[in-house]
Amino acid sequence: MAVIEIKDLAKSFGEVQALDGINLKVEEGEVYGYIGPNGAGKTTTIRILLGILQADRGTATVFGRDTWQDAVEIHKRIAYVPGEVNLWPNLTGGEIIDLFVQLRGSNHKSRREELIERFDLDPSKKCRSYSKGNRQKVVLVAAFAAEADLYLLDEPSSGLDPLMEKVFQECITEFKEEGKTVFLSSHILSEVEKLCDRLSIIRQGKIIESGSLDELQHLTRTRIVLETKEEIPSLNDLNGIHDLKKQNNTHSFLVDTAELDQVIQHISKFGVKKLESSPPKLEDVFMEHYRGEVGES
Amino acid sequence: MQTSYFHNSGRLSRLILRRDRLRIPLWLIIITALTLVIAFAYTTLFTTQQEIMVFAETMRNPAMTAMMGPGYGLDNYTYGAMMAHTMLVFTALAVAIMSIFLVARHTRRDEESGRIEMIRSLPVGRLSNLSATTLISLAVNIIMALLIGIGLFLLGIESMDLQGSLLYGASLGAVGIFFGAVTALFVQLTANTRNAIGYSLIFLGISYLVRALGDVSSEALSMLSPLGWITRTQVYVNNYWWPLLLTVGMALAVTALAFKLNSLRDLEAGLLPAKPGRKTASSWLKSPLGLALKLQRTSLLAWAAGIFILGASYGSVFGDVDAFLESVEMYREIFIIAEDIPLVEQFIATLMSVMALIAAAPALIMILKVKSEEKASRIEHLLSRAVSRKQFLGSYLLLSLAASLFMLFLSALGMWSAAAAVMDDPVNLSLFLRSALVYLPAIWALIGLTVLIIGYKPGAALFSWIYLAYSFIVIYFGEILQIPDWLARLTPYGYVPKIPLEEINFPALIILAVISIILMAAGYRGYRQRDIQLSG
């Protein structure tokens, strides 16, 4: 059964079309990445999944239930971490963690202590004196201490230092091993690349690409740096070659991953002295779409 | 509506109590104590029946009716009637403000800052936060009603029986519940806390003005105002309970509407559309003073309009005062102070002292913005650029001083324009202006004190408000009660001559002004030397 299923979801705020016909399916036990630039509609999607915004069109279900109608039932099984955290200034971090844990009705004293230790959080300080990163930790501990089946994370590691980011990634990996489902919205590409099984790219309220990392990589280009014994004539005429630069007998260019085979066959005739290739990264997939309408460059 | 809409409301109520464990008791104690102290004071100030009857005659004055509500039981005046007549509306304003802040703080403010989003991601119903807040507002107001009702009864003052005392407390509680409900409604309409509080306070102000005008001129008009309703209880004389049913009934209707709207709207959205802003900064915004003015423009304009209208509604009773004074010979004999000053002018002095106290509020708001900008860490964006602390504080100080002048001018203008329209023999504007502007040094002293606090101990900024509230109580009630002189001398307002009753006293005013300047200079010094406090 799909844990999250979104069909033709649309939402506008006045003139602004925040979501425009989104389709998405997250299976149980998956870590699903949701990437896109600021203002693309990531947070709006998550808020609809939380049932705090009402969609104009389409359906969104979590655990097969409608997110707007059955919000309370759904929330008993999910944990949420927002990217921007504001807490009550005159309560301590520990009080807030307990409040959140209580509101959801589960109690995991040992897990709470373990997480506080792992995230190196001082729970006795009032929230007004926490830095952004520490407020983020309070919410992470509160969310991760809960026994949830689905973790909804909206740019959760913003404000964390690299050390804490690593702890965060370890936690996600553990959830994955336990068979939990994670929906991770982010623009930190390395994080998504490291953690996610599948992902969707959203831009201007539309999902422009979905699939596993491998599936998406066919859309990208591999960078090749090549030195040959003989001059290669008319390299530019080959299909799928871009951004060609030439210096003596050294060529540097991008190849569409789909055309890689025929390009390699062609160049091998000219006596390859040196060949370097760098694999496609998520960043390239992202940048590709980020450039959007500009397309070729 | 489904029960799941209210899931976990009880836990959220407990959260509100936890967060306000000092704030709520403080409000309750202050309001109850003030009520009981004043009630007791009346019994010591007016000891003979004759004194009480003289007071009753004063209360027939339309200016008093406009300020406090219609008098009743005046032919056989008692401590109870006196208490209810002079204190009910005034205390109701305080209770309404308490409820407005209570409700706005736990609904829109939490929602605007994103905290409700966290709460709503947990198994918490869509309406749980509003229902928890409504529950607490109800509970606080009911507890206050009982504290005041039982407290007044226990004072054991003759004519303040159990039923009347409970009705007095319940009237206040009903007003609190009503304005809490109104705030809950405004919170659904606007996505911004300041607007929600602003609209609610404007609604309260309009309720007061409608009642003031209605009580002087038309019963039907008064019945449009919730403050008009509760003054119709005629506590301690006739003890009518129906106005409370009306008030609480309306509160329930408003609450139901607020719940309905809340269940329909998105989180963090308001139902009124937000206008798109300018894409570029106008040229006058591009300076610290311009920024200070821009940030507070709406608040400044709202205060200006409010003060002008309040002045005008006070001024509008002068026509009736004239007629009233001619008809009451006895009153003329008792209250005449100087033969050559028309009695009307004495009311100018009284009303103007109230206006001057209110006019200090916007001036304090302007200067206290320095502190809130610092607390919200927005100040660093300016100070990290080519803006010195001197310039920053100076911009806000200038704005605050200008606001004090502007507001006093408007009170005089408002009162004069209405008075001139209704009086047969109008008083000229310059008298009103002198009567108002003489308070300038007193407001400056309050501003100076605030600058000093900002310079050395910004956390104590609340003291400025407490001091203003103290001044208000001492001066406002000083008009009615014979408050010991030294109590009035503890506030700068105590040194201001009441023009045209008293001669202008330049030495006192100059000393006040000098003290203000010294306070400001000292505050400056502190502000330039201390650490800027940045949070997170």
pLDDT in tens, A225-277: 888 888 887 777 788 887 788 887 788 888 887 788 888 888 888 888 888 88
- CB nearest to A75's CB, from B122, B266, B269: B122
B123–A82 CB contact, under 8 Å: no
In a domain, A285, yes or no: no
Q: Is B269 a residue whose pLDDT tops 80?
A: yes
Collect all residues of chain A within an 8 Å Cβ-Cβ radius of residue B114: 82, 84-86
**SS3 call for B489:** coil
Distances in Å between the Cα of B92 and the Cα atoms of B78, B170, B230 are 21, 11, 9
- List Cβ neighbours of B294 (8 Å cut-off, separation of 6 or more): B285
Q: Which site among A44, A70, A103, A131 would you substitute to test the B interface, given the most B Cβ atoms closer than 10 Å to its Cβ?
A: A103
What distance in Å separates the CA atoms of residue B236 and residue A268, rounded to the nearest whole number?
107
Both A153 and A242 in a single domain? no
- CB nearest to B19's CB, from A80, A85, A88: A88
On whether any CB of chain A is under 8 Å from the CB of B123, the answer is yes
Distances in Å between the Cα of A128 and the Cα atoms of B9, B91, B446 are 25, 34, 29
Numbers of helices and strands, H then E, in chain A: 10, 14
Q: Which of A160, A181, A211 is the last residue of a domain?
A: A211
On whether any CB of chain B is under 8 Å from the CB of A205, the answer is no
- pLDDT-based confidence at A297, cuts 50/70/90? very low
What distance in Å separates the CA atoms of residue A146 and residue B229, rounded to the nearest whole number?
51
- CATH number of residue A264's parent domain: 3.30.70.260
- CB nearest to A104's CB, from B115, B122, B267: B122
Structure tokens at B187: 């919170």
Tell me which long-range contacts A239-242 makes (C-beta under 8 A, separation of at least 24).
Answer: A242/A296
In a domain, A25, yes or no: yes
Collect all residues of chain B within an 8 Å Cβ-Cβ radius of residue A86: 113-115
Q: Are B240 and B232 in contact (CB under 8 A)?
A: yes
Q: Is B367 a residue whose pLDDT tops 80?
A: yes
In a domain, A205, yes or no: yes
Nearest C-alpha of chain B: how many angstroms from A114?
Answer: 22
Both A206 and A230 in a single domain? no
In a domain, A65, yes or no: yes
Q: Are B169 and B145 in contact (CB under 8 A)?
A: yes
- CB nearest to A72's CB, from B11, B19, B125: B125
Both A183 and A272 in a single domain? no
State pTM to two decimals. Answer: 0.80
Collect all residues of chain A within an 8 Å Cβ-Cβ radius of residue B8: 103
Structure tokens at A1: 């059964």
Both A206 and A229 in a single domain? no
Q: Is B341 a residue whose pLDDT tops 70?
A: no
Tell me which chain B residue has its CA closest to the CA of residue A75: B123
Pairing label, strands A31-35, A65-66: unpaired
- pLDDT-based confidence at A32, cuts 50/70/90? very high
Q: Is A72 a residue whose pLDDT tops 80?
A: yes
On whether any CB of chain B is under 8 Å from the CB of A10, the answer is no
On whether any CB of chain A is under 8 Å from the CB of B277, the answer is no
The domains of chain B are located at 1-272
Both A230 and A133 in a single domain? no
Alpha helices, H only, B155-264: 162-189, 193-217, 219-222, 226-231, 242-264
Q: Is B334 a residue whose pLDDT tops 60?
A: no
The CA dihedral of B186, B189, B191, B197, to the nearest 10 degrees, is -20
On whether any CB of chain A is under 8 Å from the CB of B13, the answer is no
Q: How many domains does chain A fold into?
A: 2
Both A127 and A145 in a single domain? yes
Collect all residues of chain B within an 8 Å Cβ-Cβ radius of residue A94: none
B123–A72 CB contact, under 8 Å: yes
- pLDDT-based confidence at B98, cuts 50/70/90? very high
Longest dimension (CA), chain A: 74
- CATH number of residue A165's parent domain: 3.40.50.300
Q: Is B170 a residue whose pLDDT tops 50?
A: yes
B124–A131 CB contact, under 8 Å: no
What distance in Å separates the CA atoms of residue B490 and residue B513, rounded to the nearest whole number?
16
ipTM over 0.85: no
Collect all residues of chain A within an 8 Å Cβ-Cβ radius of residue B119: 103
In a domain, A284, yes or no: no
Which residue range(s) make up the domain with A255? Answer: 221-279
On whether any CB of chain B is under 8 Å from the CB of A91, the answer is yes
What integer pLDDT is reported at residue B4 of this predicted model? 82
Q: Which site among B116, B118, B124, B193 would you substitute to test the A interface, given the most A Cβ atoms closer than 10 Å to its Cβ?
A: B118
The overall average pLDDT reported for chain B is: 88
User: Which H or E run includes A218?
Assistant: none
What integer pLDDT is reported at residue B535 of this predicted model? 54
Both A8 and A82 in a single domain? yes
Tell me which chain A residue has its CA closest to the CA of residue B535: A129
Collect all residues of chain A within an 8 Å Cβ-Cβ radius of residue B376: none
What integer pLDDT is reported at residue B534 of this predicted model? 59
Q: Are B328 and B61 in contact (CB under 8 A)?
A: no
Both A174 and A272 in a single domain? no
B535–A135 CB contact, under 8 Å: no
Both A167 and A259 in a single domain? no
- List Cβ neighbours of A240 (8 Å cut-off, separation of 6 or more): A255, A256, A258, A259, A260, A262, A263
B118–A102 CB contact, under 8 Å: no
Tell me which chain A residue has its CA closest to the CA of residue B11: A103
Nearest C-alpha of chain A: how many angstroms from B59?
Answer: 46
- List Cβ neighbours of B306 (8 Å cut-off, separation of 6 or more): B202, B205
| Percent of residues in chain A assigned helix, strand, coil, to nearest 5 | 35, 30, 30
Q: Is B335 a residue whose pLDDT tops 70?
A: no
Q: Is A86 a residue whose pLDDT tops 80?
A: yes
Both A271 and A184 in a single domain? no
Q: ∠ CA(B454), CA(B456), CA(B458), 5° rounding?
A: 40
- φ, ψ (nearest 5 deg) of residue A16: -85, 125
What distance in Å separates the CA atoms of residue A95 and residue B446, rounded to the nearest whole number?
39
Collect all residues of chain A within an 8 Å Cβ-Cβ radius of residue B377: none
Return the closest-CA partner of residue B240 out of B164, B177, B172, B175: B164
The overall average pLDDT reported for chain A is: 86
Q: Give the least confident one: A277-281, B29-33, B92-96, B248-252.
A: A277-281
For B12-69, what is each residue's pLDDT tens digit?
Answer: 999 999 999 999 999 999 999 999 998 998 888 788 888 888 788 778 878 778 888 9
What distance in Å separates the CA atoms of residue A47 and residue B121, rounded to the nearest whole number?
9
What integer pLDDT is reported at residue B510 of this predicted model? 94
B266–A85 CB contact, under 8 Å: no
- pLDDT-based confidence at A295, cuts 50/70/90? very low
A76–B11 CB contact, under 8 Å: no
Residue pairs spanning A and B at CB distance below 8 A = 82
Return the closest-CA partner of residue A199 out of A289, A259, A137, A279: A289
In a domain, A177, yes or no: yes
What integer pLDDT is reported at residue B250 of this predicted model? 97
Percent of chain B with pLDDT over 90: 56
